[in-house]
Amino acid sequence: MRWRRLNLAIGAGIVLVVVVTALVSFAWTPFDPERISSTERLLGVGVDGHLLGTDQFGRDVASQIMVGSQTALFVGILAVGIAVLVGIPLGGLAAARRGWTEDAVMRTADVIYAFPPVLLAILLVAAVSPGVGPAMVAIGIAYIPIVARVTRGAALSIFELDYVAAARTYGRGKTFIFVRHVLPNIASVLIVQVTVLFALAILAEAALSFLGIGAQPPRPSWGRSLRDAQTFIALSPRLAVWPGLAIAFTVLGFNMLGDGLRDALDPRLEVRRL
Amino acid sequence: MYVVRRVGVFLFSVLVASALVFSVMSILPGDPAQVMLGTQATPESVAALRIELGLDRPIPVQYVDWLAGVVTGDLGVSIFSGQEIASQIGSRLRITIPLALMAMTMTMILAFPAGVYAAARHRRLGDTVVSVISQIGLAIPAFWAGLILVSMFAVGRGWFPANGFPGWGSVTAGLRALFLPALSLAIVQGAIITRYVRSAVLDTMREDYIRTARSKGLTRSAALWRHGLRNAAIPVLTILGLQFAALLAGTVVIESVFVLPGLGSMLLQAITRRDLLLVQGGAFVIVAIILTINLLVDLTYRFIDPRVAHR
Amino acid sequence: MTLLSVESLTVSTQAGAVLVDDVTFELDRGGRTGLIGESGSGKTLIALSIMGLLADGLGASGRVLIDGEDLIGRSDRALTAYRGNSMSMIFQEPMTAMNAVMRVGRQVGEPLRIHRGMTAEEADAHVVTLLTAVGIDQPERRARAYPHELSGGQRQRAMIAMALACGPSLVIADEPTTALDVTVQAQVLDVLAARLDTSNAALLLITHDLPVVAGITEDLLVIDDGRIVDRGPTRRLFDAPQHPYTARLVDAVAPMSRSGTIPPKDPPPPSDDVIITARGISRGYTLRRTRVGEPAPVIQAVDDVDLDIQRGETFGIVGESGSGKTTLARLLIGLNRPDSGSIVVDGIDLTTTRNLRPLRRLAQMVFQDPMGSLDPRLRVGDIISEPIRSLQIPGDRAARVAELIEAVALPADSADRYPHEFSGGQRQRIAIARALAPNPKILVADEPVSALDMSVQTVTLDLLAGLKADFDLTLIFISHDLSVVHRICDRVVVMQSGRVVDRGTADEVFRQPSTAYTRQLVDSIPRLDGTTPT
């Protein structure tokens, strides 16, 4: 029991730290994160006030990590927002209508589900242009089937219940029933799933930016920092450590928050990560 | 009937997937003919090439034409290299598929014992240790794991090559080149699968029929082994199917870390070169492989779960 | 000769809650003892403690002696020598208690392989004998089948065969017939009794259903809230209960099940004021095709049913599970539309009217499951006022809610509380209050008391009867339980496989059944005196 609380507390704490860091970085960072300085290249940890040293362009690593949290949270909100706004109504529709509508919605979801998020991002970026926006729209679309399936599965079991039948006997329509009776009762499932998707979206953005099709300069991104670090991996492996730790720390926070919420709300929930 | 229905769904899905891939690519801004000929080309020569490539026809006609090619195994010709796309993808798959399979094997070697062990030690120290390790594994980006592994085992030490692929001329050399990339993927996937295996085993242990089996005189572990395994295999099989898809997608990124000439790096190159047909063909092949795996998984259920035929 | 001796058995959770409190009893070799109590009394935990199969997190203390050897505190491995060999258990729900992906024969024969060292082939051969002994027809074929391919009764017979495979000296049966239909229930009990006679095994029969233990056990233990409150010979406890709790349990048994005779009942006054007319209504469900080319199979849930329900009567619809009675109820209240036929409710033609709002004010429904029929996220006051809001019925809603809460005899402060704070019986009252909120003329109650304990059933039925008079209702009462229907209904129809097979006043149908099926239903009701009625 104590362990469960621990998950929730640590997760919430980490997420809070990331959010505060992002907010602070809008107003203040130790150095200008994009300032290039040929005289301050590859400084060590703590040298000349550079908390985590500098990269091969002389930029302050700590400042870059700070502003990178903006992108991480932005992509999480964008991708998960798209998935939730489209996925929940679709899943609800499938559960409420059954029959032909359900088949059509779920079969389409199945096909989209066969597109790995990264592949969908590659396609969309190829069609539009590289950038964090198109990449995250693609990730959001890729997560729609996950949200729709989870919503449908949870909603189906609620639609089977007698309080739904009762609501129909006193004249409520299916939309009203979904919003008033079903949604509140599947909220815990969705909250937990959304938290985990947030973590997955941050990982996806890092991967896409690492590949060069996500965040484009001058937008700061942990994934892009790793891309820069890769070229110097033999000379300065240290540069690959900090952004990676920042990603892992943030993702760990969201995952633990998700686990903690699951244990607090409904310990037997299954969360999709694949 | 189950088989017929499932194969029908598969064919339908492949068709929809092909239409999706095609329609995303046909809203691509920029004219492939213009890209091929460069900025100095005259409008006349661009128009001529468009006709030659069939780009002047209506989009549905182009789609049907492309689809007909797909059915006969002809995905067209790369506008950049002039090579047959199908054979290009084929040679790239000879790296990507072994990489995914190797990562899958490593994942199972890591995850199955760890998951079963954690379930057996439920709420005790062993469970906690596995949970903490898998929680950390879940948070690590695979490509970062790759970078770290390179700096630890390749750079300076030279135990494994840091990048590149020597070809399958020497199988050992090939496998050595794929070892670190596969391991980077397996670290992350292993964490996910460990958690699934753990909860599948725990769920099974709570089932009524396990209690019945124990009431007949089987020990807890014998009941789990004889009665639980086949039942637990049903959700685990689903996960393995999904996992293969995830690994296939993961190779796209990891190939870039280790500079492996697989399907993923082909796609990334094709994007920078705006090689429309190549992106289209590559993406479609990946999705088709994933749909095929899903089909195989569903058909395998029939042999595990006698209730499936009635669904 | 004592076989089983339970001494000061106490079961508690890790947190320290005591679920079974200082239970002591003995069971003789070949003896038959019933353990009766209401849900949550701890009776199943006693059985699991004896078997050493308590869930993780529960601990047993005290002594459980089989042939003088204490089993408490022994390792899982040490207990395997007893389980399935000298003692075995039959569980309540045969579908989940069996392994869905293993053939039935293999599961039945497993104890023989574990304890008798038989090979799979030897066990398979023996299983056919075992299945024949419990009355399973085509035993070779059934042995090769999977559990889902058997009926509920066949599955429970197979469980009995499995439990008796190694000739145990103790069989523990935990609600072995509760999940079964009444006709099947009687047959399974007969098989169990006959097999015990042959094998001379002792029986500990656990149930909440008193008539089930009446014909089969010699002694009874009555358990309430984890303690044994009463014990003695079965006949004496049922005929002249001394302890007030036992008396309450016996009182709660319907008159029809209590004595060997069905009491006569006055026929309802004749009336031609018909409120519901149904003609030739059918409703089918299409299943998925199982073979290429063949048409998809259709299950006729309701098949060509005619009904005339009179204003102000209590009309019973009786049937076993799958007989179509719930589907019929949903058709009558406009939740589903019939495939064919016509239904007219107080002048509203349900088959042609598009807007059913007038019907919604007219007819309301009470459902079986008191857990599932109330939205757990809403306060009771909001649950009860929902129909008023939805149907835009004018008036002071708070006052109306208070009035309804009083009518169903719930505490006055109920409106501000959530459903989970109430017991099963109280939740069913909330559901009744909600159904009465729009002041309907018709109330359809689908198995409204089946999920409740016996003593709560009586109170709820009395409440329903009272409300029917106060609110001037026509009550349509659906149940599988003949004694409940006989007690409350004026006229009844009996359904089987979607068709009405018998109809008439309650007296006619139950006291002079005109069809073989109704007679079988009536004869199958277990009686408290262990006999069947004349």
Among the partner residues B27, B252, B291, nearest to A119 by beta-carbon distance? B252
SS3 content of chain C, % helix, strand, coil (to 5): 40, 25, 35
Average pLDDT over residues C345-369: 90
C375 contacts on A by Cβ (under 8 Å): 163, 181, 184-185
pLDDT on residue A150: 94
Contact C115 B217 (CB under 8 A): yes
Contact C374 A169 (CB under 8 A): no
**What gap in Å lies between CA A42 and CA C338, rounded to an integer?**
79
Give pLDDT tens digits for A243-261: 999 999 999 999 999 988 9
pLDDT band at residue C524 under the 50/70/90 scheme: confident
pLDDT band at residue C304 under the 50/70/90 scheme: very high
A168 contacts on C by Cβ (under 8 Å): 335
pLDDT tops 90 at residue A47: no
Contact A116 B248 (CB under 8 A): yes
Choose between A220 and A70: higher pLDDT.
A70
Among the partner residues C360, C368, C377, nearest to A184 by beta-carbon distance? C377
State which residue of chain B sits closest to C52, comparing Cα positions.
B215
Contact C91 B216 (CB under 8 A): no
Q: Digits of tens for pLDDT over chain B (311 positions)?
A: 778 888 998 999 999 999 988 888 776 655 667 666 666 778 888 888 778 777 778 888 888 888 888 888 888 888 777 788 899 999 999 999 999 999 999 999 999 999 989 988 888 898 999 999 999 999 999 999 998 888 888 777 777 777 778 878 888 888 888 999 999 999 999 999 999 999 888 888 889 999 999 999 999 889 988 998 888 888 888 888 888 888 998 998 999 889 899 999 899 888 888 787 888 899 999 999 999 999 999 888 888 888 876 54
β-pair partners for C503: C493
Q: Is A201 an interface residue toward B (CB < 8 Å)?
A: no
Phi/psi at C425 (5° precision): -65, -40
Contact B20 A112 (CB under 8 A): yes
pLDDT tops 60 at residue C534: no
Top residue of A156, A169, A266 to mutate, by most chain C CBs within 10 Å, is A169
Phi/psi at C448 (5° precision): -70, -20
Top residue of C14, C50, C58, C80 to mutate, by most chain B CBs within 10 Å, is C80
Contact B217 C51 (CB under 8 A): no
Q: Is A167 an interface residue toward C (CB < 8 Å)?
A: yes
Phi/psi at C59 (5° precision): -125, 140
Phi/psi at A108 (5° precision): -60, -45
Among the partner residues C76, C110, C291, nearest to B219 by beta-carbon distance? C76
Q: Is A1 an interface residue toward B (CB < 8 Å)?
A: no
Contact B310 C80 (CB under 8 A): no
* 3-state secondary structure at position C514: coil
**What gap in Å lies between CA C93 and CA C177, rounded to an integer?**
9
pLDDT band at residue A2 under the 50/70/90 scheme: low
Q: Is A161 an interface residue toward C (CB < 8 Å)?
A: yes
pLDDT on residue B208: 92
Contact B214 C53 (CB under 8 A): yes
pLDDT on residue C186: 85
Among the partner residues A161, A168, A184, nearest to C372 by beta-carbon distance? A161
Give pLDDT tens digits for A138-188: 999 999 999 999 999 999 999 989 999 999 999 899 999 999 999 999 998
Among the partner residues C369, C377, C391, nearest to A171 by beta-carbon distance? C391
Q: CA angle B247-B252-B258, nearest 5°? A: 105
Top residue of A98, A159, A170 to mutate, by most chain C CBs within 10 Å, is A170
Task: Give the Å distances, CA to CA, from C527 to C211, C218, C220.
Answer: 5, 15, 16
State which residue of chain B sits closest to A116, comparing Cα positions.
B249
State which residue of chain B sits closest to A206, comparing Cα positions.
B141
Average pLDDT over residues A90-113: 90
**What gap in Å lies between CA B135 and CA C312, rounded to an integer?**
64
Token reading at C332: 């009558």
Q: What's the whole-model pTM score?
A: 0.86
Q: If you average pLDDT over every residue of chain C, what do you get?
A: 90
Contact C360 A169 (CB under 8 A): yes
Task: Give the Å distances, CA to CA, from C140 to A219, C136, C150, C155, C161.
Answer: 73, 10, 13, 15, 14
State which residue of chain A sits closest to C331, comparing Cα positions.
A169
A167 contacts on C by Cβ (under 8 Å): 386, 390
pLDDT on residue B307: 81
Contact B211 C53 (CB under 8 A): yes
State which residue of chain A sits closest to B133, comparing Cα positions.
A252
Contact A167 C386 (CB under 8 A): yes
β-pair partners for C367: none
pLDDT tops 60 at residue C533: no
Give pLDDT tens digits for C373-395: 999 999 999 999 999 999 999 98
C437-463 per-residue burial string, b: 16 or more CB within 10 A, e: under 16? bbbbbbbbbbbbbebbbbbbbbbbbeb
Average pLDDT over residues A104-125: 89
Among the partner residues C357, C391, C434, nearest to A166 by beta-carbon distance? C434
- C12 residue type, one letter: S
Contact A127 B28 (CB under 8 A): yes
Contact C89 B207 (CB under 8 A): no
Q: Using CB atoms, which chains have 3+ pairs under 8 A with C?
A: A, B
pLDDT on residue B75: 81
Contact B209 C289 (CB under 8 A): no
Give pLDDT tens digits for C205-251: 999 988 888 888 999 999 999 999 999 999 999 989 999 999 989 88
Q: Both ends of chain A: CA-CA distance in Å? A: 28
Contact C374 A163 (CB under 8 A): yes
Among the partner residues A116, A237, A252, nearest to B139 by beta-carbon distance? A252
Q: Which residue has the tokens 């409740």?
A: C452
A270 contacts on B by Cβ (under 8 Å): 199
Task: State which H helix or E strand residue C103 sits in.
Answer: none
Task: Give the Å distances, CA to CA, from C479 to B14, C320, C349, C366, C448.
Answer: 50, 8, 26, 12, 8
Contact C364 A170 (CB under 8 A): yes
Q: List, in order, residues 6 or more apart from A227 with CB less than 8 Å away.
A: A209, A210, A211, A212
A251 contacts on B by Cβ (under 8 Å): 138-141
Among the partner residues B216, B305, B310, nearest to C101 by beta-carbon distance? B305
